[in-house]
Amino acid sequence: MHIELDRSACQGHGRCYALASALFEPDDEGYSVLLVEGEIPAELEDAARLAADNCPEYAITCHPAQS
């Protein structure tokens, strides 16, 4: 699975880094920063989906891994 963050849509609610701190962290202004590039580890897929499902701005999307 791949995860994508649209930083232009992020409003800094902080739900993603509260729910998936292994994948996201806040920048100096409280906006989300994605910590992982490329395919995310299988053990973090549930956290990625949870973060995407809880983003009020729909700034996070999950995509199946490309084979």
pLDDT at 66: 76
Find out whether 3 and 36 touch, Cβ atoms under 8 Å: yes
Domains of the chain: 2-63 (3.30.70.20)
Instruction: Report the sign of the C-alpha dihedral through residues 21, 50, 45, 67, in that order.
Output: negative
Q: Which two tokens stand for residue 3?
A: 């995860």
Tell me the per-residue pLDDT of 5-49, one tens digit each, with 9 for 90 and over.
Answer: 999 999 999 999 999 999 999 999 999 999 998 899 999 999 999
Q: In whole angstroms, how large is the CA radius of gyration of the chain?
A: 11
